[in-house]
Structure 1
Amino acid sequence: MSSSGVLSPNRSLRQVKSISQVHVDDLNITSILSNRGITIHVDHEIDADEAMVLAMGYKQEFKREFSLLTVFAVSFSVLGLLPSIAACFDYQQLVVGISPVPWIVAVIFVTSVSMSLAEVASAFPVSSGTPYAVSQLAPPSCKAFLTWLTCWANWLCQITAAPSVNYSGASMILALVAYNNPNFTVTTGKVYGVTTGINIVHGIISSMPTKFLARFNTVGTSVNIIFLVVVFVIILAGNDRLNIYNGEIPKFNSNSVAWSFDNMTDYPLGISFLMSFLGVIWSMSGYDSPFHLAEECSNAALAAPKAIILTSSVGGFIGFLFMIAISYTLVDIQQIAEDPQGLGQPFVTYLTQIASKKLVNAATALTIVSSFFMGCSCMLAASRVTFAYSRDGLFPLSKYWKIVTPLTQTPINAVWINLFISQLLLLLMFAGDVAIGAIFSVGGIAGFTSFTAPTLLKITYARDKFKPGPVNLGRWSTPVGAVSVAFVTLMIPILCMPYVKGKNLNNEEMNWTALVFFGPMLLATIYYFVAANKWYSGPKSNVNEEDLAYGDSYQEYEGLPIGEKTSSKIDHKDAPDSL
């Protein structure tokens, strides 16, 4: 097909090889350019993916070198089951004991959230993610404000991911050193220093070209899967409890022990059970990454949502098997909480209860390597979010953070401003273990809030307006969405609760989540009503104005963003066949 060709609307989008015009309204999508009779003219041959992103209002600025497999690789690497499970001992096993029941119950609801998110990602395959969807589904009177809040919530989720993962990885490194050298003392300063080193290495890697990043994350996913299996085998086959405890306990726990609860909070078991969901929520929080890589992914409307569903379902199942392995082998949960060896990392302490020194070293080392790949994937995803929101003018100095470096064709500035903010967040560790734990809770709340905002709108105000993409839930869309919204509404206050109450509650035991999450959200709200409402209207198209042609019945107002031009329905009967 020549560069001057156009495509008839009755042909499949995937059948087109190259076109030079995109008639937005014929794509049957909802975007910041739709319902305005807009035709986008381009000066080069484009494929279906570029046609879609143009119709969404954005230029194609990245190379689409991620496939379904490689975008799933990034997502599964961000999920990082092995290091996530290791990092979340404090938030699951040390809350209600060793039973795997909280995992499977929480995963059911987390999967419902991910399925609703996948449906949204298929309809709006742009790296802006859920805020873009909110801007198209919210009532006109408040869409700018709701989009603004969703942006900030999602950004807080992304910006806390890498530092929390790398903090956990650094803790495991130092725990391994302390395990092998009793004279070594783990200090907060040492943990901060090692975490900083990991962050810098990840910043360098995340600044590389997309092709390298796709290959690197494929390797990372392979490593994560292989190491997960190896550590799983170490836990079960390498279980040496009989020798370690001189036959005083059996090789495996009985069913009654493995599935039992040990409430370690000041609340009733039911509340503690819900509080332990934080471990599952945080461990499973990487499934949104394909959404933010949609503009670097081939056939994004299919690949991105499929990768989201694959990540949550495969991750949930494998994680449950891992929980079972832990529940049947763990010896003494109270000893892990007390940390008599001063290792500072509960998962490593758990391994010392069941395995020989050689296997403890091996399992911990493999978990550290997996954590490294996971942290790098988190930083990559976060940089794309910062880029996308800067493109819409969300942040101060956005013009710098939205720059795509020509040499690598990646948003390097976004990578490094994220790294700087990560370092500031990590200063929380000097306020104590509970304070640094807030970045885990914030990741859960912020992610849930942003993931579910478009789902809420989709099943309420925009129920008759939402145009699903090729991956959708059909008649199950509303029921699944309702379950997702209800679950998130329940969990937000639960995740803000301290683990102790009454006379046991002090500054060190206080849950800082409310301050770390709602504090920035309050500031963002104040900023919006004081200043941002004067210029922020939601996602802004960066397609050149001279490349747009409007139908005869569309009135254009100079000086306004494309998303604010007024319009009425156009008749295309005299227009050429279009895409």
Structure 2
Amino acid sequence: MDSGEKRLNELGYKQELRREMTLFKTLAISFSTMTLFTGITPLYGSSLQYAGPAPLVWGWVVVAFFTWFVGIAMAEICSSFPTTGSLYFWAAHLAGPVWGPFASWCCAWLETIGLIAGIGTQAYAGSQVLQSIILLCTGTNKGGGYLAPRGVFLAMYVGLTIIWAILNTFALNVIAFIDIISMWWQVIGGFVIVIMLPLVALSTQPASYVFTHFETAPALTGISSKPYAVILAVIVSQYSLYGYDAAAHLTEETKGADKNGPIAILSSIGIITVFGWAYILALTFSIQNFDYLYDSNNETAGVYVPAQIIYDAFHGRYHNSVGAIVLLFVIWGSFFFGGLSITTSAARVVYALSRDKGVPFSSVWRRIHPKRKVPANAVWLCAAICILLGIPILKVNVVFTAITSIATVGWVGGYAVPIFARMVMAEKNFKPGPFYLGRARRPVCLIAFLWICYTCSVFLLPTYYPIKWNTFNYAPIALGVCLTLILVWWIVDARKWFKGPVRNIDNQVEKV
């Protein structure tokens, strides 16, 4: 018996999903969920505007350093609990019989909210890149090009979400194959962009500007406090460096998951750490005119700073938009693959929670397609909710900020529950897997937990002043309402019947 399946049986679950994923396929899906371009590209312009290039560049290094602590802590837990429910399953077992059900309930819903909102971030940002591609293909903003209005933008958002849902109703091998393409797409595309962009640009910024220049923009952002500006400038890195738990969601479908799950988690972090910093440096070195990037009358209508940087480089050298369109298409492909992978992860979490009767109408969402062995109903539930999140695009300008904040707080906040439980639990109650921290687990978990708390707090802050209806960060209100309803549901009803992960085989869990 496969070591991952053996451990799954010990934990009280029978093998229902096909266990046919290799380490490389799992790594490909995990890497595609993090993605090289999708975190950096949509927030690069706003982060650069807050405090200039130096905080943006060095912020990536700082965030990557602390992200390793989170990844290492999660890799150890994943090695011991290779289950599809991942975070909320971990929370239930690590928190013990008294607090386990409540910890599992909180973690499950945080993770579910974060993942479904994460689909929305990919659909929105992918639509932004597609909007820029169409604009440049039809003549640029200065040449009468077509800038998609709100209704068309929403149609692109919905279209991407539906395509991802359709693809996720096929067997997981199809998704794994697409994600292998995604991995090479991003690695090769990343190399091309990182190397070509500074070479093509007619001029590049000096190293002193990239690594040391600090400049706030209170006239544009309303923020004059330098520490506050730096905090907001680093958000791009905090948003980009998560999602590596996707490997944990696929452990019931991965061969040797108790070993390969942790390897995929840590490998994803390592690859993105290196390539992400190189991408930020390539963009920053290639800036031609800082103020022109945000001009609403420029070629990209001032709506997407990386698109303008790429356009300036290629148009300045070759006097046409072809090169910029090609590179933007590479970036758009990254959003497409990222959204596909996040949909895969979200559906697995909804399926696992439904299997444990933690979602209304659980019997519907936990159904597995008889032939393809995928949770198809859970896929379409996630897609439907994601589409509903995007409807305010028709009227509100800060939809992306809100969805991004909800996704980050929910997704990363879900990491905190099992990590905190692992930190405080008695070591004798933990059965280690092949990846084990030993005495290092408490300091690693403590640093990881504190970093997660800081990250979640940052994404609830106002991002522009003065605060108005069209600049207000709605994430605290949205999250507050959702979490209040979930907590009330627990107090009034769920605590009476929700006991966390529900065993579906009769084997006794091995004593520790």
**Cα contact 1:199–1:419 (8 A) shared by 2:** yes
**Cα contact 1:65–1:214 (8 A) shared by 2:** no
Q: CA deviation at 1:146?
A: 1.7
How many residues are paired up?
493
Letter in 1 for 2:303: G
Question: Does 2:192 align with 1:230?
Answer: yes
**Cα contact 1:97–1:333 (8 A) shared by 2:** no
Question: Does 2:70 align with 1:113?
Answer: yes
**Cα contact 2:117–2:403 (8 A) shared by 1:** yes
TM-score, normalisation: structure 1: 0.81
SS of residue paired to 2:148: coil
d(CA) in 1 for partners of 2:45 and 2:391? 19
How has the CA–CA distance of structure 1 residues 304 and 549 changed in structure 2, closer, same or farther, with 3 Å as cutoff?
closer
Q: Name 1:346's counterpart in structure 2.
A: 305
How has the CA–CA distance of structure 1 residues 256 and 118 changed in structure 2, closer, same or farther, with 3 Å as cutoff?
same
d(CA) in 2 for partners of 1:160 and 1:482? 27
Question: Does 2:222 align with 1:263?
Answer: no
d(CA) in 1 for partners of 2:507 and 2:186? 49
Q: Name 1:151's counterpart in structure 2.
A: 108
d(CA) in 2 for partners of 1:456 and 1:440? 24
Q: CA deviation at 1:370?
A: 2.0
How has the CA–CA distance of structure 1 residues 50 and 466 changed in structure 2, closer, same or farther, with 3 Å as cutoff?
closer
Letter in 2 for 1:71: T
**Cα contact 1:137–1:461 (8 A) shared by 2:** yes
d(CA) in 2 for partners of 1:529 and 1:117? 29
Question: Does 2:275 align with 1:323?
Answer: no
Letter in 2 for 1:74: I
**Cα contact 1:238–1:359 (8 A) shared by 2:** no
SS of residue paired to 2:357: coil
Q: CA deviation at 1:143?
A: 2.1
d(CA) in 1 for partners of 2:494 and 2:190? 46
User: Which digits, 9 at most, give the CA deviation of each residue in 1:252-280, with x for residues without a partner?
Assistant: 21122112223244152222222233211
Q: CA deviation at 1:174?
A: 1.3
Q: CA RMSD in A?
A: 2.0
Uncovered stretches (5+) of structure 1, i.e. residues with no partner: 1-45, 241-250, 551-562, 571-579
How has the CA–CA distance of structure 1 residues 370 and 491 changed in structure 2, closer, same or farther, with 3 Å as cutoff?
closer
Q: Name 2:152's counterpart in structure 1.
A: 190
Higher helix fraction: Structure 1 or Structure 2? 2
User: Which digits, 9 at most, give the CA deviation of each residue in 1:123-149, with x for residues without a partner?
Assistant: 111010111111112153332112101
Q: Name 2:201's counterpart in structure 1.
A: 239
Within the candidate set 463, 466, 471, 1:499 is matched to 463
d(CA) in 1 for partners of 2:281 and 2:173? 38
Q: Name 2:17's counterpart in structure 1.
A: 62
Q: Name 1:160's counterpart in structure 2.
A: 117
Q: CA deviation at 1:412?
A: 0.5
Q: CA deviation at 1:325?
A: 1.6
Question: Does 2:251 align with 1:294?
Answer: yes
Question: Does 2:370 align with 1:370?
Answer: no
SS of residue paired to 1:309: helix
User: Which digits, 9 at most, give the CA deviation of each residue in 1:193-222, with x for residues without a partner?
Assistant: 011111111111111112222222112211
TM-score, normalisation: structure 2: 0.92
Letter in 2 for 1:327: T
Within the candidate set 30, 33, 56, 1:78 is matched to 33
How has the CA–CA distance of structure 1 residues 54 and 171 changed in structure 2, closer, same or farther, with 3 Å as cutoff?
same
d(CA) in 2 for partners of 1:401 and 1:532? 18
Uncovered stretches (5+) of structure 2, i.e. residues with no partner: 139-143, 316-320
Within the candidate set 100, 125, 129, 2:86 is matched to 129
Once the two structures are superposed, the pairs formed by residues 418-433 of structure 1 within 5 Å of their partners are 418-433=382-397
Within the candidate set 507, 510, 526, 2:472 is matched to 510
**Cα contact 1:439–1:516 (8 A) shared by 2:** no
Within the candidate set 203, 206, 216, 1:254 is matched to 206
d(CA) in 2 for partners of 1:137 and 1:389? 17
Once the two structures are superposed, the pairs formed by residues 521-540 of structure 1 within 5 Å of their partners are 521-540=483-502
Question: Does 2:265 align with 1:308?
Answer: yes
Q: CA deviation at 1:537?
A: 1.0
d(CA) in 2 for partners of 1:472 and 1:157? 28
**Cα contact 2:135–2:145 (8 A) shared by 1:** yes
Letter in 2 for 1:539: P
Q: CA deviation at 1:343?
A: 5.7
**Cα contact 1:186–1:344 (8 A) shared by 2:** no
SS of residue paired to 1:212: helix
Q: Name 1:38's counterpart in structure 2.
A: none
Once the two structures are superposed, the pairs formed by residues 318-467 of structure 1 within 5 Å of their partners are 318-341=275-298, 342=301, 344-356=303-315, 357-467=321-431
Q: Name 2:141's counterpart in structure 1.
A: none
d(CA) in 2 for partners of 1:313 and 1:454? 22
